[in-house]
Amino acid sequence: MCSPNAEAFLRALPKCEHHMHIEGSLEPGLLFQLAKNNGVTLDPARYTSIAALEERYKNFTSLDDFLLYFNLAMAVLITEDDFEALTFAYMTRVHADGLVHAEIFFDPQAHVGRGISLSVVVAGISKGLEKAEAQFGITSKLIMCFVRHLPVESALESVESIMEYVKTGKVSGLGCDSTEKGNPPEKYKEVYQRARDLGMKHLTMHSGEEGPAAWVRTTVEELGITRIDHGVRSADDPEVLKLLVDRNAFLTVCPLSNVRLRVHTDVSESPIPKFMAAGVKFSINSDDPAYFGGYVLDNYLAVHKAFSFSKETWRGLAIDSVNGSWCDDDRKKEILALLDNVMAEWADKEI
């Protein structure tokens, strides 16, 4: 447990989150409510009660085990209002955590594949984000993810279909998620090249969570992607760490997710200190907070409990998270000014 001062300081730090799947913020309570509203029949063997579901989420055996529940739950997201409610619920929750900028993933293939139009999904999420900016001042970017478990052709179609929203500024980037097993990075080189050809500038990829450090190297060297989601296996190879530094790459690490999905048995096993020693830049994120037992502040607190960082270390991590964001320079300056104010307020306090 962190001290009250440490918790207060970490809550006050202005945070940027770069790795959060909006579908992964669907809390059991909202899931059951939307199922009722939309007349969706949930699998009675898996969805007996909110409490039972919360308990099940504590016992995932693997990424694939989690993905089963993640994909089943999406069935309750049907209307524009559903996506808006989901998004605004997340933003309301993280506002209390000190989040000031969010870069959020969504999985269009998962929704279009079950008959929900892309326009409904994007409009609903966008309304939630706009409402949050108006009420809380949280800026945001929306990142389309294609999923590894579907054919490459489906990913290419998804990239083509999303471009109208890229042109209007509703969608800001492209990512790739779902299971790494059997799906190495080079399989998707064509997808990322097509996105570049169409004018998409912000690219990221889940790599090095289940897959080895060599896959992170491939992501950087062959696909030319320098934002890596997870990337924890990079720590297994000093040469890959050096590559990340040389290419000014940025990792979006998710400590509590790594524990829930059995990548690590405890946050103390996280390679965060190794990244810091090597000079690798990263941010701390929640991934799928409704499933993994914690939002962004919970991840900060877990890291502090494991490593007892100083205020100056946290300041450096906060600066890195701002600089690694896809917001414009003016917004970065605003967030850094907020950070300076917090550090001044805490100058004479211990954590």
What is the identity of the amino acid at 173?
Answer: G
How far is Cα 298 from Cα 20, in angstroms, rounded to an integer? 14
Return the SS3 of 204: coil
Strands laid side by side in the 173-177 sheet: 15-21, 99-106, 139-147, 173-177, 202-203
In a domain, 11, yes or no: yes
Which one from 17, 23, 180, 209 is the annotated catalytic residue? 209
**Residue 206 marked ligand-binding:** yes
How many CB atoms within 10 Å of residue 32? 17
**Residue 288 marked ligand-binding:** yes
How far is Cα 75 from Cα 96, in angstroms, rounded to an integer? 28
Please give the helix or strand (H or E) that residue 141 lies within, else none.
strand 139-147
How many CB atoms within 10 Å of residue 316? 14
**Residue 18 marked ligand-binding:** no
Per-residue pLDDT tens listing for the chain (351 residues) = 799 999 999 999 999 999 999 999 999 999 999 999 999 999 999 999 999 999 999 999 999 999 999 999 999 999 999 999 999 999 999 999 999 999 999 999 999 999 999 999 999 999 999 999 999 999 999 999 999 999 999 999 999 999 999 999 999 999 999 999 999 999 999 999 999 999 999 999 999 999 999 999 999 999 999 999 999 999 999 999 999 999 999 999 999 999 999 999 999 999 999 999 999 999 999 999 999 989 999 999 999 999 999 999 999 999 999 999 999 999 999 999 999 999 999 999 999
**Residue 304 marked ligand-binding:** no
CATH number at residue 145: 3.20.20.140
What is the identity of the amino acid at 25?
Answer: S
How far is Cα 192 from Cα 208, in angstroms, rounded to an integer? 18
- Tokens representing 96? 């209390």
Please give the helix or strand (H or E) that residue 6 lies within, else none.
helix 4-12
Is 345 an active-site residue?
A: no
**Residue 101 marked ligand-binding:** no
CA dihedral 128, 132, 134, 138 (to 10 degrees): -130
The boundaries of the domain holding residue 141 are: 4-29+80-345
| In contact, 166 and 199? CB cutoff 8 Å | yes
In a domain, 106, yes or no: yes
- Tokens representing 6? 């440490």
In a domain, 318, yes or no: yes
pLDDT for 1 equals: 75
pLDDT in tens, 112-145: 999 999 999 999 999 999 999 999 999 999 999 9
Closest CA to 28 of 55, 59, 66, 60: 55
pLDDT in tens, 279-338: 999 999 999 999 998 999 999 999 999 999 999 999 999 999 999 999 999 999 999 999
In a domain, 228, yes or no: yes
| In contact, 198 and 236? CB cutoff 8 Å | no
**Total domain count for the chain?**
1
C-alpha 98 chain-centroid distance: 16
In a domain, 130, yes or no: yes
In a domain, 37, yes or no: no
In a domain, 257, yes or no: yes
In a domain, 63, yes or no: no
C-alpha 40 chain-centroid distance: 27
How far is Cα 99 from Cα 132, in angstroms, rounded to an integer? 11
Closest CA to 174 of 163, 187, 183, 182: 163
